[in-house]
Amino acid sequence: MPQKKPLVIVTRKLPDVIETRMMELFDTRLNVDDKPMTKAELIEAVKVADVLVPTVTDRIDAGILSHANPNLRLIASFGTGVDHIDLAAARQRGITATNTPGVLTEDTADMTMALILAVPRRLTEGEHLLRSGEWKGWSPTHMLGHRIWGKRLGIIGMGRIGSAVASRARAFGLSIHYHNRRRVAQALEDELEATYWESLDQMLARMDIISVNCPHTPATYHLLSARRLKLLQPHSYIVNTSRGEVIDENALTRMIANGELAGCGLDVFEHEPAVNPKLMEQQNVVLLPHMGSSTIEGRIDMGEKVLINIKTFVDGHTPPDRILPDSF
């Protein structure tokens, strides 16, 4: 007798090719309307699912997991970040959690580099000026920005994405500096000609551009606090394609508005989708709707990782992307 297929509940719409394969492999319930599930809907899902496939915007906390049925043994998250899942509560209930690391590295690094270029060169300001019909033609002193060649880039978090950003930035003539929980291998430092700073405070005070590429964890919440933001020089820029919670957004907004920082490029926000209205008013910022990893290729690669994690787990093996307690 064929083995009963596990019930897999997917919380958001995924690429068609991934949803089709899920329907073939498992007893799958899809989110056709692509509306975020409410807390009540997530509770109903964990009451019946064998496998839950949430995304990084679904809060799978201890309260929701307290309603999980005994057969829920896998949370196969569609995304790299894991701060939306209460991993301790999942472990207590014997639930394995997986994510999709690695596949978003190049896309996110591309977007980070785009912001590193866009903010100092005032690209969105220029685009808005052109579309408004107010552009009067070229002038020697009009829309002056700053070159990035020869500037110091401080990377917070030298993991896969941080290293990929460093590789791109070095090609643009930036001097690479970084702060990380652990110093990277000497070979990588040599390849990138990167300078390691054990003290984040000391690095911040000396950089022209800061790129945030670390995950959001309890240890990194408001890592760039009001105090640390004050260490930055007035001519410096901040770029964040990681998680909004790493930066004190209110403090950052005040400093931008007061001219204490030259500008920022943000793809993520502390309370997204809400964005500080005062931040939206500033001209020297580039704000994007969390699209750093938004490529067709990247989303399909993520979905394929989810499929592999589920299939491996269902077949009785340890999934390749199991989240370990000390991974983040």
Residues involved in catalysis = 243, 272, 290
Show the tokens assigned to 222.
């408001």
Which residue has tokens 């699209």? 291
Rg (CA), the chain: 22
156's tokens = 């917070």
Give the three-class secondary structure for 129. Answer: helix
Structure-block tokens of residue 177: 């500096």
Closest CA to 263 of 113, 118, 111: 118
DSSP-H helix ranges across 145-205: 160-171, 186-192, 200-204
Question: What one-character DSSP code corresponds to residue 159?
Answer: S
- Give the integer Cα–Cα distance in Å for 112 and 22: 32
**CB 172, CB 197: distance < 8 Å:** no
Q: Which two tokens stand for residue 56?
A: 């990084």
Residue 41: strand, helix, or coil: helix
Q: Which helix (H) or strand (E) holds 96?
A: strand 96-98
Measure Cα distances from 138 to 22, 117, 126, 141 in Å: 55, 21, 12, 9
Nearest Cα neighbor of 245 from 69, 59, 121 is 59
Helix axes 105-118, 123-132, angle to 10 degrees: 70
Secondary structure element (H or E) that encloses residue 253, with its range? helix 249-257
